[in-house]
Amino acid sequence: MVSSRLQTLYPTFLFVGEETYVPGTTTITTSPTFIVDPIDGTTNFIHGFPFACISLGFTLSRLPTVGVVYNPFQDLLFTGIRGGGSYMQRNASLNLSQFPKQKLPLAGGGDADRAPVLGGLSSALVAVEWGSQRDGENFEIKARTFRKLTASKENGGGSMVHSLRSLGSAALNICACAAGQVDLYWEGGCYAWDVAAGWCILNEAGGRMVSGNPGGWETELDSRVYLAVRGASAGQREIVEEFWGMIGDGRMEYQH
């Protein structure tokens, strides 16, 4: 339904989706492209855990330009347009005035320059996912990093983050970061359709997407390795560098 509706309305635009993706063949070009995951959070959906959504992104020149993320189970809608800000709306389908759109980030009243300072990992709430690949070097890097993030500083050599969270949906994790509900989201193994919509929403909330591997301040839409940091009045660069320090020399590598 999503692909046919969009291709009928915009026949000259390209379409990339999880169900249409062909490994080694499908690429994201500079052309206007819809990048869609009709159900992000499939495992949650199967189990009836109410954190699943549609992730509908639109890119121009490979840049996230429009993002729509909607969780129908919680009637929670996130939207963003490049240069136009991003918003969250609860009970979105009711269209009632008592549930207005809230500009992101929430804690800054829609102004990232007024959002709380990022004070470092020891005061951070971090979103992560285990992913479906549970062996090999990528899995070992994740497991080691999870341990270092949560271990005590004094005896464990870690950063003692407040805690880790796993919503089970890359799009919803990124939107939580855009809203300022989590400080960081680290992921390896997901695809462009998981992150395109949320990426636009994050950018418009003053957040930043960098590489999930150390040192990559710029990362491609289809890199498959991401680190999202929320909008803040200060501390973004410092917390990213601190996080990369927890990863150390490891580098996650995923095929396209």
Across the strands, what pairs with 61?
none
Is 75 assigned to a binding site?
A: no
Nearest Cα to 145, choosing from 208, 213, 211?
Answer: 213
- The answer for 164, left when phi > 0, alpha when psi is -120 to 50, beta otherwise, is beta
Is 241 assigned to a binding site?
A: no
Q: Which of 42, 81, 111, 238 is catalytic?
A: 42
Instruction: For residues 121 and 167, give the distance between their C-alpha atoms in angstroms, rounded to a whole number.
Output: 19
Is 81 assigned to a binding site?
A: no
Is 247 assigned to a binding site?
A: no
Q: Which residues contact 49 (CB under 8 A, 6 or more apart)?
A: 43, 168
Q: Which residues contact 165 (CB under 8 A, 6 or more apart)?
A: 125, 126, 127, 128, 173, 176, 182
Q: Which of 28, 33, 35, 37 is catalytic?
A: 37
Q: Which of 35, 40, 54, 204 is catalytic?
A: 40
Residue 183 falls in the annotated catalytic set = no
Residue 18 falls in the annotated catalytic set = yes
Residue 42 falls in the annotated catalytic set = yes
Please state the φ and ψ torsions of residue 165, each to the nearest 5 degrees. -130, 145
Please state the φ and ψ torsions of residue 172, each to the nearest 5 degrees. -70, -35
Residue 75 falls in the annotated catalytic set = no
Q: Which secondary-structure segment (H or E) carries 185?
A: strand 184-188
Instruction: Give the sign of the dihedral formed by CA 84, CA 88, CA 117, CA 111.
Output: positive
Residue 37 falls in the annotated catalytic set = yes
Q: Which of 129, 183, 187, 194 is catalytic?
A: 194
Q: What are the CA-CA distances from residue 25 to residues 28, 69, 189 (Å)?
A: 10, 26, 18
Burial group, residue 227, by CB count within 10 angstroms (0-12, 13-18, 19+): buried
Is 40 assigned to a binding site?
A: yes
Which residues are marked as active site? 18, 37, 39-40, 42, 194
Annotation: binding site? 18, 37, 39-40, 194
Annotation: binding site for Mg(2+)? 18, 37, 39-40, 194
